[in-house]
Chain A
Amino acid sequence: MAKQRVDVAGNAASFIDQDDIHEPVHDKNLWAARMKRDAAARAVPEWEDLRTIASLIKEHTLTHLDHYLEMFEANAIKRGAKVYWARDAAEHNQHVWEILSARNIDAIIKSKSMLQEECGMTAFLENRGISVTESDLGERIQQLDNQPPSHIVMPAIHKTPADIAGIFAKAIGTDPNNTDPHYLNEAMRADARKRFLKAGAGMTGANFAIAETGTFVVCTNEGNADIGASVPPVHIASIGIEKLLPKVSDLGVFIRLLSRSALGTLATQYTSHFSGPRKGGELHIIITDNGRSKRLGLDDFWHSLKCIRCGACMNTCPVYRRSGGLAYGATYSGPIGIILDPTFDESKYSELPYHSTLCGSCSEVCPVKIDISDQILKWRKVMAAKKYLPISRRLAFGAAGKVFEHPTLFHGAETAASAAMKVTPHFLLYNRGLNPWGRHRELPHFAKQTFREWYLQYKQTDKDQEPQQ
């Protein structure tokens, strides 16, 4: 089990150490997104109220989820959609496969869907001879490089234009030395056109599903979901059960928050509402659980289901910006990944909650007010209680706990320097060979006298100077 555990700190170190370009540029680009988000949010006087309202709507919906799911299903069916239920990834993928194979479809075009990522759908379909093309530019880059997305909204943000030029040169024959984004974008656009026309089905996810109308809403900046849903005769949408909103009037709150939080833009370029199949076409909706009901039952963690996948927590996270999303070794990375991934596999993702300084910025930017930072600390408690902590860490803290428990042990030191040894990152004592403190840092200078020694001396002098009665 331990072998399988994702070494997120080690992966992040590799991201930093690879060269002098990737990490600094990644940090700079995402910080710029955070700054744009701040400016966009500041321009909305009621921003903090919107966050509160969005959080309340989500809490309400999640609390009555069964009711709204059935309402959505009934209304979607009324509008002519076919609705399927999937308990887990296997059922979800099976539904997709059955829809495609019944129609002899061997090529699909898809837009971004974190749920389909979660389900490992692309690999599943490719194993069955279906050609799958990602149509979101970032996702397409990742697909061609055989990597999962590293960011919810900007899947290839960890790559430089030079990386992308190299990938496109191999895949579609562009000039490997031309790193001009417009040139690369245009070349991929031309390649994608052919694939849109050839696809037997278009697949999308959904950002929101409206119970009262049976409509779902897909937000993109490239319009790729719209072509995918409009050109091929069959549209299949994968929708997580947490995407529900009760009413159309709730939607405005979330549309105002989503793109401002994600990229600092007022809205995504395309906000498309799908209400039943278009004339002569088919619409299939797969409502998928895949661990969400289980999460809904976790007192400390169910609030993570409010997430609208904007990625603001990733952009603001100082640790994520230095790590790159692939370091997390999971579908979801960054702060939201830290609290979602362990619900899929506690052992595998047991190190993730420690990949945080608990600075708390994620909780403050979250447009639906998920207490992300607090949940990270709560996950640490789960990991510690279940003994997922590495042995060395457990030993260090057992020893520290003892020292702090007994004042005499703690103050037993004769000199300030030896007192300092007890509190200076004591893990050093357990890890002398590696000395993780000292690779990039000098040790603090030890004081000649502890505060305690000074205080006792000061009090003594005070007493000596008191007039004798």
Chain B
Amino acid sequence: MKVALFIPCYIDAIYPEAGIATYELLERFGLEVAYPLNQTCCGQPMANEGDQENSAAAERLFVENFSGYEYIIGPAGSCVKHVRHHLDAIPQTAAVTEVRTRTYELVEFLHDILQVEAFPWAYFRYKASLHNSCSAIRGLHIAQPSEHMAPYYNKSESLLKMVEGLELVPLDRPDECCGFGGTFCVTDEAVSARMGLDKVHDYERQRAEYVISPDMSCLMHQQGIARKAGIDMKFIHIAQVLNGGPF
């Protein structure tokens, strides 16, 4: 199976280890992983502002780069949600809709498509909390939202339960938004920071040593908050745990 790896811009620059872990993990499952070199951004930051004009070029380039692959896999829920649900600043040609439906977030790809049953190489001897992003929960249905009355499921949690040594601790407010919200984190700084601090305090109450997430953008915000508040806690991408590094 030939798949393309979509590495969002902030992972490329700030959290390359999350990208490396994703790449290695996919290779472990015998996939032929291509990384289109001309990729930049999916257009989400502009589109979330309502700025269709400025997101169109990024979206066009995204489709150009990722056409022709069986699956396009990105280790980032909010970017994948944008591609699947909101990449509509450009005309919806067959190529565009094809790319949109073939783009998967890493956890849902592992869980739904590869149907992985074990990560024998992974070992993580820590107490950790899981943070599924709102985009991943309510946009990609990676987990049952707490306010929706239907049977419980949580794909990231199911995968993490296969990792030896890992102890997952539940939160007081399991899927409360952390306040990142893309541009929201700077345009609405006070509310964003308060939400982030409340989130970090919740982890602290559960004595989590690590916070694990399929969305590094939320963690960039949470990590910044924790560091400023002097809270000793580590934040890593789920791919790093499932792949057994790099840490």
| A residues lining the B interface (CB < 8 Å) | 9, 12-13, 16-17, 23, 27, 31, 34, 37-38, 41-42, 44, 47-48, 316, 318-319, 322-323, 353-361, 363-365, 373, 377, 379-385, 389, 393-394, 397-398, 400-407, 410-411, 416, 419-420, 422-425, 427-428, 431, 436-437, 439-447, 449-455
Contacts and interface: CB of A to CB of B under 8 A. Distances in A.
A323 B220 contact: no
Contact of A9 (B86, B145, B182, B191): B191
Contacts of B38: 407
A227 B180 CA distance: 47
Residue of B48, B189, B225, B227 ringed by the most chain A CB atoms within 10 A:
B189
B20 A451 contact: yes
Contacts of A445: 14
Contacts of B49: 354, 380, 384, 389, 393, 397
Contacts of B135: 358
B147 A12 contact: no
Given A354-B184, A360-B137, A384-B50, 19 more contacts: A16-B194, A38-B147, A318-B176, A322-B191, A363-B138, A380-B48, A397-B45, A397-B51, A403-B40, A405-B58, A405-B61, A406-B40, A407-B39, A425-B186, A440-B228, A441-B196, A441-B228, A447-B14, A451-B20
B193 A441 contact: yes
B164 to A, nearest CB: 27
B134 A357 contact: yes
A324 B55 CA distance: 33
A377 B57 CA distance: 19
Contact of B16 (A27, A385, A454): A454
A16 B134 contact: no
Interface in B36-61: 37-41, 43, 45-46, 48-55, 57-58, 61
B122 interface: no
Contact of A407 (B61, B139, B186, B224): B61
Interface stretch (B5-13, B91-99, B154-162): B5-13
7 contacts: A385-B52, A401-B51, A440-B196, A440-B197, A441-B228, A443-B224, A445-B14
B188 A41 contact: no
Given A357-B177, A397-B54, A9 B190 contact: yes
B149 interface: yes
B199 to A, nearest CB: 9
A421 to B, nearest CB: 8
B170 to A, nearest CB: 15
B223 interface: yes
A333 to B, nearest CB: 13
A27 B198 contact: yes
Contacts of A38: 146-147
B195 interface: yes
Residue of B9, B19, B180, B224 ringed by the most chain A CB atoms within 10 A:
B9
A377 B176 CA distance: 20
Nearest to A378: B50
Interface residues of B, number: 75
B177 A318 contact: yes
Given A382-B50, A423-B10, A447-B13, A455 B35 contact: yes
Residue of A373, A440, A454 ringed by the most chain B CB atoms within 10 A:
A440
Nearest 7 Cβ contacts at the A-B interface: A380-B50, A357-B181, A441-B224, A401-B54, A13-B190, A440-B193, A405-B57
B188 A354 contact: yes
A440 B188 CA distance: 12
Contacts of A410: 9, 40-41
A452 B12 contact: yes
Contacts of B189: 9, 13, 436-437, 439-440
Contacts of A404: 9, 40-41, 43, 46, 57-58, 61
B148 interface: yes
A217 B57 CA distance: 53
Contact of B14 (A353, A393, A446): A446
B8 to A, nearest CB: 9
A239 B85 CA distance: 37
Contacts of B35: 452, 455
B15 interface: yes
A359 B13 contact: no
A322 B194 contact: yes
B245 interface: no
B40 A322 contact: no
Given A397-B46, A404-B57, A447-B14, A13 B20 contact: no
A442 B41 CA distance: 24
A422 B10 CA distance: 9
A124 B95 CA distance: 58
Residue of A355, A357, A407 ringed by the most chain B CB atoms within 10 A:
A357
Given A382-B50, A441-B228, A419 B13 contact: yes
B142 to A, nearest CB: 13
A451 B52 contact: no
A444 B220 contact: yes
Given A47-B149, A404-B40, A451 B185 contact: no
B92 to A, nearest CB: 16
Residue of B15, B186, B191, B198 ringed by the most chain A CB atoms within 10 A:
B191
A360 B134 contact: yes
Contacts of A389: 49-51
B191 A400 contact: no
B51 A449 contact: no
